[in-house]
Amino acid sequence: MGENNKNQPRIAIVGAGLTGLLTAHGLKKAGFDVVLFDKEAGLDARPRDWPLMLHWALPTFNSLLSESALSNFPKALCNPYLEYTPEVESMPCINGKTGEVLFKSSMPGARRITRQRLRRVMAADFDNGKDIQWSKRLETFEVDETTDAVRLNFADGTNAEVDYVLGCDGASSKVRQLLFNGDQVAQVQPSGFMFATAIVRHDDAAMVEPVVKMHPVAAVMMGTESVGGLSIMYVDDPNDLSRWTTTWMKIWRREKFPEPPATQGVEALSYIKATTKNLVEPFQSQIDLTPEDGTKASCFIDEMRTWVPVSWDTRGGRITLAGDAAHPMLVYRGQGFQHAVVDAKSYVDALKSIRDDGVRREEAVRVYTDDVVERGAKAVTQSLREASLSMDLESVGKMMMAKQGHARAA
């Protein structure tokens, strides 16, 4: 393995989320041998789903996917029946007190997908149990200077020897912690901003209609002590709104309200209802009328976390990070996944430059990592500033979202 195996290296991706799967697509398309390891028991081990917007990174995203995944991409869309227009490819921001439109964020070519659906589409190209190995919780890694290989040691007692490791294991990345030898500098930090989401199946067209009327994809609300969002999550029948599923979200400063008694389920939903008052319609009623029977709605509450990246030792170009493992940021302007897509493409290009152009491994991965750190640090910092500005009507107009929409800025 290692330098002696530079033409046929084996790459391990730790984490089979969207970033890991997308990078695996790009590597496989480029002819590399790639295997994914994930700590979860399987693709559907976590029931939680959420929507994501693909916008400025969509062309790069498409360039990495296999032909089969590209052809199945519509299966990942929240509404695969939607006809796209400039109005549809924008996001209105509503005054949470008056209902007036504060501004619209243009996103030409944007497509809204759900994480679970896109993950299934991308995972279909890989052999379960071989290309994607589940229940593999990473504990340690070792670099063998003799064989030039990296040995990954998992909690189940198994191990794997590879040439390269890419950590795509999320905001609380184990790979990141190991790269920093457990130092506190690698620890993800609480942002002070809470984030609640609910996916709701009303089975009632009258509840879905106001959401669609506000915007057929998604709308956000600002100007109160919280930020709200309404969007379409799933569409089973384009002609029957009663078979549409909606989703709402709320963001607030942690210090403004008591601690939630639960982070998911009916108790979490009851807390959101009790602490959310006097929002402009339809935001208030969509929360108030969310069913609490435990079957038609799922609600989750988290504190959003960030890590402003600083440079790490890549162990001679063998190990690095991508996506949320490298730069977990707040949801504002939907930049996190866009930068994860750029990471994926840049990593594939780096490994191709080693194999095809003779670039030294350490140099190629260092250039990749330096870009991820610089770009990620800027984007994380921007997301924190956006959150602070979004909580007050007087400062909303200063947001990047108001001035330049969802466009790339890092």
pLDDT of residue 7: 72
Tell how far CA 245 is from the center of its chain.
21
pLDDT of residue 108: 95
The correct answer on CATH 3.30.9.60 for the domain covering 190-306 is yes
pTM assigned to the model: 0.97
pLDDT of residue 3: 46
End-to-end CA distance of the chain, in Å? Answer: 36
Using an 8 Å Cβ cutoff, are 159 and 153 in contact? yes
Which residues of the chain fall below pLDDT 50? 1-4
pLDDT in tens, 33-68: 999 999 999 999 988 999 999 999 999 999 999 999
Cα radius of gyration (the chain): 22
**Secondary structure (H, E, C), 311-339:** CCCCCCCCEEECHHHCCCCCCHHHHHHHH
Under DSSP, the state recorded for 405 is T
Distance CA 93, CA 405 (A): 10
Task: Enumerate the domain spans of the chain.
Answer: 2-84+101-188+307-391, 190-306
Distance CA 57, CA 378 (A): 17
pLDDT of residue 6: 62
Q: What is the CATH class of 2-84+101-188+307-391? A: alpha beta
Q: Length of the chain in residues, anyone?
A: 410
Distance CA 390, CA 225 (A): 9
Using an 8 Å Cβ cutoff, are 115 and 107 in contact? no
State the amino acid at position 368 in one-letter form.
Y
pLDDT of residue 160: 98
Distance CA 176, CA 171 (A): 9
Distance CA 1, CA 7 (A): 10
